Amino acid sequence: MDLSKLKVADLKARLAAGGDVRELVAAMQEDSRVSVRKLAASYLRRKVKEEVERERVLEMYAPETAYYNQGLYHVAGIDEAGRGPAAGPVMVAAVILPPYWECPGLNDSKKVPPAKRELLYDKIMADAVAVSCIAKSEKEIDELDIYHATMQGMYDAVRGLSVPAEAVLVDAMPLRELAVPHKSLVHGDALSASIAAASIIAKVTRDRLMVEYDKKYPQYGFAVHKGYLTKMHMEALQKYGPCPIHRRSFEPIKSMVQENSK
């Protein structure tokens, strides 16, 4: 293949167009121009990286595959965001993905940068078979406790799916009352594609809500810490006291409320 009349920009365009470029890349590797050989090397490195990422994501379907092999293809992954903060709701999401859906970057939401989480959120919402996201308010958390409020949210999220789940994978928490086959996975958001997708939906939804709360209660910095008890948050609590979205069953809010009620 004679590349002598092609500029580097032309070769970049051909590589970007996709298709079978093996012969083109082989010729580029033998080209006399250093810039062309470097472009070929860069292209190959990128393709190797993409393939490694593709294989990583496909490996995350191992838990789902156990159900796919039984003819159960609507497998819901469930995860939550916001169990630890002292303010705002806990958000619980359930997601059914198409079997072996490819999504580079899909991972436990805690391992994904915020900007990337937003992109993954949009992709999941566009391509998922079904998505359900449930908020359990600070009042429900105070009434039930955070563990049981989260558990109730998980049951509600499954019931809220527009396509019924044939099986369920959940991060850590056992859901023994489910009528369909189900499995609890410790660190499931790093092991299951469906749970990872649910973690992204729950995290992004909750973060967006806390940004909105920040507009209503700007003195607390909710847009920054999302309700976690950072130094900034503690200082605001000491200065202003708790606001309506603070969890009264969590310390130090619990002690503050008790002290003010005396």
Give the pLDDT confidence of 194-235 residue by residue, as tens digits. 999 999 999 999 999 999 999 999 999 999 999 999 999 999
Contact 183, 169 (CB under 8 A): yes
- Of 193, 202, 121, the closest CA to residue 157 belongs to 202
Half-sphere exposure of 35 (CA within 13 A, CB side): 9
Contacts of 223 (CB under 8 A, 6+ apart): 210, 211, 214
Other beta carbons within 10 angstroms of residue 37's beta carbon come to 14
Q: What is the pTM of this model?
A: 0.90
What six digits make up the tokens of 7? Answer: 């500029």
Q: Could you tell me the end-to-end alpha-carbon distance of the chain, in angstroms, rounded to an integer? A: 87
Q: Which amino acid appears at position 101 of this protein?
A: W
* 130-136 sheet: strands from edge to edge: 130-136, 90-96, 75-81, 167-171, 182-185
Reported as type and span, the H/E element at residue 65 is helix 62-68
Instruction: Name the β-bridge partners of 137.
Output: none
Dist CA 125 CA 180 (whole Å): 24
Degrees (nearest 5) of the Cα angle 154, 55, 116?
55
| Percent of the chain scoring above 70 in pLDDT | 99
Contact 95, 197 (CB under 8 A): yes
| Mean predicted lDDT score pLDDT of the chain | 95
- Section 52-59 average pLDDT: 95
- Of 150, 102, 90, 159, the closest CA to residue 130 belongs to 159
Map out the domains of the chain with their CATH numbers. 8-59 (no CATH), 62-211 (3.30.420.10)
The pLDDT tens digits of the residues spanning 62-85 come to 999 999 999 999 999 999 999 999
Helix-then-strand count for the chain, H and E? 12, 5
Instruction: Name the β-bridge partners of 92.
Output: 80, 134
The pLDDT tens digits of the residues spanning 131-146 come to 999 999 999 999 999 9
The pLDDT assigned to 261 comes to 66
Dist CA 150 CA 91 (whole Å): 8
- Section 111-122 average pLDDT: 96
Length of the chain: 262
The pLDDT assigned to 4 comes to 86
Contacts of 214 (CB under 8 A, 6+ apart): 220, 221, 222, 223, 224
Dist CA 206 CA 203 (whole Å): 5
